C-alpha cells in the first residue's frame, strides 16, 4: 500500500483508520472520501466528496491520486438496513461492484470489511468456524455474503488482490456507529459516564463478538501487508477480541462507576438480528495466516473507553 483511498472515511471505523494510515504511510498518501465532509475532514489531509455509487467519480479519484489500494468502508449497517433494504443494496453492493471494477481495470488492491452479520440461522453459534454455513437473515448480512463471494470471484477470475475481515461489533468513542445491532456496546459507555445508567435494546444473556477500535484498525494494516503467499483465505477472515453480553459489560463498567444501573427495553428487531449472529468466533485462520492478535480485552478496553469519553467530553 503506497497510495490509499479510503471510502466512508468519516464513519466510525474510517475516521480512526485514516488517522493511523496517515501516520504510517504519510498524510498526502492517504485520501479520504465520503458523500459529505466537514471542514476538519478537508483540513486533516487529502479529502474528496464521493458517493461510491458513482463509478465515474471513483475512477476520477483513482487517477487523480494514482491510487494503488482502496479500503472500501462506505456501507450501511444492519439495523438501519432493515428500514430500507433497497438503499442498503444500492450502497453496499453497488459501491462494492464499482470498487472491484475500478480495481480490475487499474490493477488495485482492495480491502473490504465483512461482518459477523455474514452468519445466520444454521451457523454454529459457539466458536463459529472460518468456513461454515452462511445463510444470514438480514439484508446487511446478505450483502456481506454476496460481497465476500464477489471479492473471491474477482481474485480468482481477474487476479484482483481482494482481502477482508469479518468484523465483530466495533467499540470506540471518537465517531459513533450509524445504526448497527452491536451499537448498544458503544452507547452503554457514554450513558454510564454521562447519566450513570443505560437502557439496553439488546437483552441480557445475548452474546456477540466485539473488538476495540485500535485492534480493528491494525487488522487492516496487518492483513494488507501480509505476503499473499501466506493467505489460504481471503474474503473474509473471522476476527474478534471478546464474546460478551450486556451484563458482562455492565459488571466491567461498575469496576469504575460502582453506582452504574443497567436496565432493559428490548427492541425485537435488533434482538432477533443479534440472536441470529454467532456468540463467539473461531479466529484461528486469521492468527495462522496473518498473525492476528488483538491487544485489548474487556478490562483494558473499558479503561481506555472511559478515559477517552471523559477526555473528549471535558468531564
Ligand atoms: N456492527 C455491525 C452491526 O451491528 C455488525 O457488523 O450492524
Q: What is the pLDDT of residues 92-116, one digit of tens each?
A: 999 999 999 999 999 999 999 999 9
Concatenating the DSSP letter of every residue in 106-134 gives HT-EEEEEEEGGG--TTS-SSSB-SS---
Atom of ligand 1 nearest to the CA of 79: 7
Q: Quick one: average pLDDT of 246-252? A: 98
Nearest CA to ligand 1 atom 1: 169
CA–centroid distance, 60 to ligand 1, in Å, is 31
CA distance 76 to 178: 8
311 Cβ neighbours under 8 A, 6+ residues apart? none
- Strand-strand pairing, 30-34 and 47-49: parallel
CA angle 313, 304, 290 (to 5 degrees): 130
Running DSSP on this structure, what letter comes out for residue 91?
Answer: I
Residue 140 annotated to the active site: yes
Q: Quick one: average pLDDT of 111-137? A: 97
Atom of ligand 1 nearest to the CA of 169: 1
Nearest CA to ligand 1 atom 3: 180
Instruction: Output the pLDDT for position 314.
Output: 81
Cβ–ligand 1 contact at 114 (below 6 Å): no
> Is the predicted pLDDT of residue 142 greater than 80, yes or no?
yes
Contact 282, 130 (CB under 8 A): yes
Give the pLDDT band of residue 189 (cuts 50, 70, 90): very high
For residue 55, CA distances in Å to 35, 59, 62 come to 13, 6, 11
Q: What's the distance, CA 300 to chain centroid?
A: 20
CA–centroid distance, 273 to ligand 1, in Å, is 10
Helix (H, G, I), strand (E, B) or coil at 215: helix
Structural domains in the chain, sorted by start: 4-169+211-238 (3.40.50.720), 174-210+241-279+296-313 (3.90.25)
Element spanning 272, H or E: helix 268-276
What are the tens digits of pLDDT across the range 51-80? 999 999 999 999 999 999 999 999 999 999
- Bridge partners of residue 115, in order along the sequence: 167
195 Cβ neighbours under 8 A, 6+ residues apart? none
Instruction: Output the pLDDT for position 178.
Output: 84
Q: Quick one: average pLDDT of 279-290? A: 98
As separate numbers, helices (DSSP H) first and strands (DSSP E) second, the chain gives 13, 12
Joined together, the cell numbers standing for residue 71 give 479500503
CA–centroid distance, 244 to ligand 1, in Å, is 15
Cβ–ligand 1 contact at 77 (below 6 Å): yes
Amino acid at each position: 500500500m503506497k497510495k490509499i483511498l479510503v471510502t466512508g472515511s468519516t464513519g466510525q471505523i474510517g475516521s480512526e483508520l485514516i488517522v493511523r494510515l496517515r501516520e504510517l504511510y504519510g498524510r498526502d498518501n492517504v485520501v479520504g472520501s465520503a458523500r459529505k465532509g466537514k471542514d476538519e475532514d478537508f483540513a486533516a489531509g487529502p479529502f474528496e466528496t464521493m458517493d461510491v455509487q458513482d463509478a465515474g467519480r471513483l475512477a476520477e479519484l483513482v487517477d487523480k491520486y494514482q491510487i494503488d489500494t482502496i479500503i472500501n468502508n462506505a456501507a450501511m449497517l444492519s439495523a438501519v438496513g432493515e428500514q430500507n433494504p433497497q438503499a442498503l443494496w444500492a450502497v453496499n453492493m453497488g459501491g462494492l461492484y464499482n470498487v472491484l471494477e475500478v480495481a480490475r481495470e487499474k490493477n488495485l488492491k482492495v480491502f473490504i470489511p465483512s461482518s459477523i452479520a455474514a452468519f445466520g440461522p444454521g451457523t454454529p453459534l459457539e466458536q463459529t468456524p472460518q468456513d461454515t454455513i452462511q445463510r444470514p437473515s438480514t439484508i446487511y448480512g446478505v450483502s456481506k455474503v454476496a460481497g465476500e463471494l464477489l471479492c473471491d470471484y474477482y481474485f480468482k477470475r481477474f487476479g484482483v488482490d481482494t482481502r477482508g475481515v469479518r468484523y465483530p461489533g466495533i467499540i470506540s468513542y471518537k465517531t459513533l456507529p450509524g445504526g448497527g445491532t452491536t451499537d448498544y456496546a458503544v452507547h452503554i459507555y457514554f450513558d454510564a459516564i454521562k447519566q450513570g445508567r443505560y437502557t439496553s435494546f439488546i437483552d441480557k444473556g445475548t452474546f456477540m463478538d466485539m473488538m476495540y477500535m485500535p485492534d480493528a484498525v491494525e487488522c487492516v494494516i496487518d492483513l494488507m501487508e501480509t505476503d499473499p503467499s501466506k493467505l489460504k483465505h481471503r474474503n473474509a477472515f473471522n476476527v474478534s477480541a471478546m464474546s460478551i453480553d450486556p451484563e458482562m459489560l455492565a459488571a466491567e463498567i461498575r469496576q469504575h462507576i460502582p453506582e452504574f444501573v443497567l436496565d432493559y427495553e428490548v427492541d425485537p428487531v435488533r434482538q432477533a438480528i443479534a440472536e441470529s449472529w454467532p456468540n463467539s468466533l473461531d479466529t484461528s485462520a486469521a492468527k495462522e495466516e496473518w498473525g492476528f492478535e488483538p491487544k485489548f480485552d474487556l478490562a483494558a478496553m473499558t479503561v481506555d473507553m472511559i478515559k477517552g469519553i471523559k477526555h473528549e467530553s471535558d468531564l
